[in-house]
Chain A
Amino acid sequence: MTDASVRISHVAAGHSRVSRAEPWQVRLGTALSKPGFLAALPVGILLLAGFVGPLALVFLFAFMPPQTFSVLQAPTLANFRTIFSDSYYLSFLASLQLAASTVAILLVICYPLAIAMVRVFTRKAGILALVLAAPLFVADNLRLMGWMLFLVKGGVVSGTMQTYLGIPVDSMLYTFSATLFGLVYINLPMMLFPMILGVSMVPAQMREAAFDLGASRWQVMKEVDIPLAMPGIMIGALITFILAAGAITEAKVLGGTAVVMIAQDIQKEFTFAQNWPKGSALSMLMIVLAGSLALAMFKRVDLDAIFGRKG
């Protein structure tokens, strides 16, 4: 069939010379004969039906009149007006602030740990990575519940202080800091692993050369280590920022009512309030944030270089 359409297209081009582009059937045909395109199809269809579709629907609903359940109405900006006149932007700002703090804390914690994994414990890096990745396979809410039991009044911290030291300690839960703590804990592997990839991309000889040319340890770090590890550091920072900004469980389990995060607002609109358009408009804030950050990163980072490294 592909052959036939190719022939037809040549004949057509010979007669009319209107367009040198081949008809779409031909282009599809040649694409289908490429193994790369064929291999990408199954996941591609999944993501079309499970990611692009839902997000497109959210986009459409964001412009529908409030409290409606169909996308076939005249578009309006009413939802966005409500969002910005009500205090919803506060939860968005709170989420951004928490996310930024999470990233800042994780950058400082994870960099020395990544150095340790790559350069000090080189031989044990495989098993260490497994031990550190394993908690990802335990549900977030279970692990956060563990922290709740640890920090609650009468829990491990306050119990220890009270019983063994006689110092009364109140609950450490249901504050901004508790939420931040939860976000740092849950997202730590998301920062650590990309950073390990980044740090292991710095060739040892490059660092030795800088050292040999007279640079101090600090200068080697500033001039060679950090710039060359930047792709990994950037991916880590970006993933943790987006995931922290869109988090829900941390605030629910550890933060109580101290902080309301944007994802909680979105959830409320979709479930209790049954106001799909408003929920969609709030989701759009998240989608735009995540999308623009991801695009900014894709421009700067060569994915082949990061994932393709051997060893």
Chain B
Amino acid sequence: MNDFSHRATWAYGSAMAALILFMYLPMITMALASFSRSKYFSFPVPKYSDKWYLEVFQSLSIRDFFWTSTVVAIAVACLSTVLAFFGALAFARYDWKGRRLFQKIILLPILFPQAVLGLALLLWFTALGITPSWQATVFAHLVWIAPIATLVIAIQVYSFDPAVEEAAYDLGASRWQVMREITLPLLAPGIFSGFTFAFLLSWANFPLSMLSSGADSTIPEWVSAKLQSGYTPQVPAVGTLTILAAAVVMAFGYQISAFMKRRQVKAG
């Protein structure tokens, strides 16, 4: 009953393969569409061309959108990692009275539809007289991403033995030394995953950027506008480029976290 029969393994394997294909099919289609020479996509593609990529690389406005997306994503990743590090300690490490409540409150923004949250934030910014800008977008992203990063780091915190910290205190370390010498290095892989998650989620976010960024549009906003006002293969070309960028960040992240885990195993 443990070892699945040959046929069952085969069936599960093909279901898994079908799932992966299903998840990636739209992206493959998009890449295909970006190389179509004619303005309107038709399949099979009659003639291929890379002219849309050349246009994208030459477009100054698209360069601006890329830049805004990157700046926002880096800011969100840095800020949410700091917030989430402490949040995760409160979530999983320390025993305190409000912990159960805190855990639930942290989950609420994740459970809430982003489109509606974005609209509520629009109302809030307007009422407070805050002009939409990339800084406002960073704030909007943080509301949703910092809780997710908190969960990512909290999972690592759970597997962390508090006795190690206590031993360090017992050996004469100060609170700050314990944080620097014990807590931070042990949680480093989780913190790094949290950072990567935050960057990538911000990079791909549309609903929270849409109403908060004002003139500082991000790539997903540009895509949305183009989808409504006039499709050209520039859209899938930009889409394919953002996917490549995300893939590079992910590959780096995976390598680095694998390296960190190896080093910890060795040291431990």
On whether A and B touch (CB less than 8 Å), the answer reads: yes
> With a CB–CB cut-off of 8 A, which chain A residues contact B41?
149, 152, 154-155
- B191 is an interface residue with CB less than 8 A from chain A: no
Decide: A43 and B106 in contact? CB cutoff 8 A. Answer: yes
- A267 is an interface residue with CB less than 8 A from chain B: yes
Contact of A266 among B20, B116, B242 (CB under 8 A): B116
Contact of B250 among A116, A134, A253 (CB under 8 A): A134
Decide: A263 and B42 in contact? CB cutoff 8 A. Answer: no
Decide: B43 and A113 in contact? CB cutoff 8 A. Answer: no
Decide: A39 and B94 in contact? CB cutoff 8 A. Answer: yes
- Chain A residues within 8 Å of chain B by Cβ, number: 96
User: Would you give the shortest CB distance from B210 to chain A, in whole angstroms?
Assistant: 9
Give the contacts of B1-52 with A (CB-CB under 8 A).
Answer: 1-2, 4, 8-9, 12-13, 15-16, 19-20, 22-30, 32-33, 40-44
CA A69 – CA B4 in complex, angstroms? 63
- Nearest A residue to B87 via CB reads A43
Decide: A270 and B119 in contact? CB cutoff 8 A. Answer: yes
- Nearest B residue to A124 via CB reads B16
> With a CB–CB cut-off of 8 A, which chain A residues contact B220?
139, 141-142
CA A145 – CA B242 in complex, angstroms? 14
CA A222 – CA B77 in complex, angstroms? 43
User: Would you give the shortest CB distance from B249 to chain A, in whole angstroms?
Assistant: 8
> With a CB–CB cut-off of 8 A, which chain A residues contact B83?
42-43, 46
Residue in B24, B43, B227 with the greatest tally of chain A CB atoms within 10 Å: B43
- A92 is an interface residue with CB less than 8 A from chain B: no
CA A208 – CA B122 in complex, angstroms? 54
User: Would you give the shortest CB distance from B2 to chain A, in whole angstroms?
Assistant: 7
Seen from chain B, the residues whose Cβ lies within 8 Å of a Cβ on chain A are: 1-2, 4, 8-9, 12-13, 15-16, 19-20, 22-30, 32-33, 40-44, 82-84, 86-87, 89-100, 102-117, 119-124, 127, 139-140, 142-143, 146-147, 150-151, 154-155, 158-159, 200-201, 203-207, 211, 219-220, 223-224, 227, 235-236, 239, 242-243, 246-247, 250, 254
Seen from chain A, the residues whose Cβ lies within 8 Å of a Cβ on chain B are: 31, 34-44, 46-47, 50-51, 53-55, 57-58, 61, 71, 112-113, 115-117, 119-121, 128, 130-132, 134-147, 149-150, 152, 154-156, 158-160, 163, 185, 188, 204, 207-208, 211, 217, 238-239, 242-243, 245-249, 253, 263, 266-267, 270-271, 276, 279-280, 283, 286-287, 290, 294, 298, 303-304, 307-310
Known: A40-B90, A131-B23, A155-B43. 14 other contacts (CB 8 A): A34-B96, A43-B84, A43-B87, A50-B121, A54-B124, A121-B12, A130-B250, A140-B204, A141-B227, A146-B27, A188-B23, A243-B113, A248-B115, A249-B115
Ordered by A's residue number, 17 sampled pairs between the chains whose C-beta atoms are within 8 Å are: A34-B97, A37-B98, A38-B86, A43-B84, A47-B109, A57-B127, A116-B15, A137-B201, A155-B41, A163-B44, A246-B112, A246-B114, A246-B116, A247-B113, A249-B207, A271-B211, A303-B100
